[in-house]
Amino acid sequence: MPGLTAPFDYSHEPPRHPALLVNSKEPFNAEPHRSALVSSYVTPVEFFYKRNHGPVPIVDDINKYSVSIRGLVENATELYMKEILKLPKHAVTATLQCAGNRRTAMSKTRKVKGVGWDIGALGNAVWGGAKLADVLELIGIPKYSRISPLGGKHVEFVSIDKCKEENGGPYKSSIPLSQATNPEADVLLAYEMNGETLNRDHGYPLRVIVPGVIGARSVKWLDSINIIAEECQGFFMQRDYKMFPPSVDWDNIDWSTRRPQMDFPVQSAICSLEEVNCVKPGKITVKGYAVSGGGRGIERVDVSIDGGKTWIEASKSQKAGIPYVSDDESSDKWAWILFEAEADIPESTVIVAKAVDITGNIQPENVEVIWNLRGILNTSWHRVLVQIAH
pLDDT tens, position by position, 239-268: 999 999 999 999 999 999 999 999 999 999
Q: Is-contact 119 34, C-beta < 8 A?
A: yes
What pLDDT shows up at residue 91?
A: 98
Asked whether the predicted pLDDT for residue 225 surpasses 90, the reply is yes
The predicted model gives 37-56 an average pLDDT of: 97
Q: What angle do CA 169, 175, 176 make, to 5 degrees?
A: 135
Amino acid at 138: L
What pLDDT shows up at residue 3?
A: 87
What pLDDT shows up at residue 1?
A: 66
189 or 321: which leads in pLDDT:
189
The SS3 call for residue 276 is strand
The predicted model gives 143-165 an average pLDDT of: 96
**DSSP per residue over 151-209, as a string?**
---EEEEEEEEE-GGGTT-EEEEEEEHHHHT-GGG--EEEEEETTEE--GGGTTT-EEE
The predicted model gives 88-93 an average pLDDT of: 98
CA atoms within 13 A on the CB side of 153: 3
The predicted model gives 90-118 an average pLDDT of: 97
Asked whether the predicted pLDDT for residue 95 surpasses 90, the reply is yes
Spell 167-185 as b/e; 16+ CB within 10 A means b.
eeebbbbbbebebbbbeeb
Confidence of residue 81 (pLDDT cuts 50, 70, 90): very high
Residues near 3 by Cβ (< 8 Å), separated by ≥ 6? 59, 60, 61, 62, 63, 64, 65, 66
What pLDDT shows up at residue 193?
A: 98
The predicted model gives 313-331 an average pLDDT of: 94
- Mean pLDDT taken over the chain: 97
> From CA 95, how far away is CA 72, in angstroms rounded?
31
pTM confidence score: 0.97
Q: Where are the beta strands (DSSP E) in 58-103?
A: 58-59, 66-71, 77-80, 89-97
From the CA atom positions of the chain, what is the Rg in Å? Answer: 21
What pLDDT shows up at residue 389?
A: 87
What pLDDT shows up at residue 235?
A: 98
> Which alpha helices (DSSP H) does the chain contain, by range?
34-37, 81-86, 103-107, 132-138, 177-180, 235-238
> From CA 383, how far away is CA 366, in angstroms rounded?
10
pLDDT exceeding 90 applies to what percent of the chain? Answer: 97
The predicted model gives 155-167 an average pLDDT of: 96
DSSP state at residue 235: H
pLDDT tens, position by position, 1-35: 678 999 999 999 999 999 999 999 999 999 999 99
Q: Is-contact 185 121, C-beta < 8 A?
A: no
pLDDT exceeding 70 applies to what percent of the chain? Answer: 100
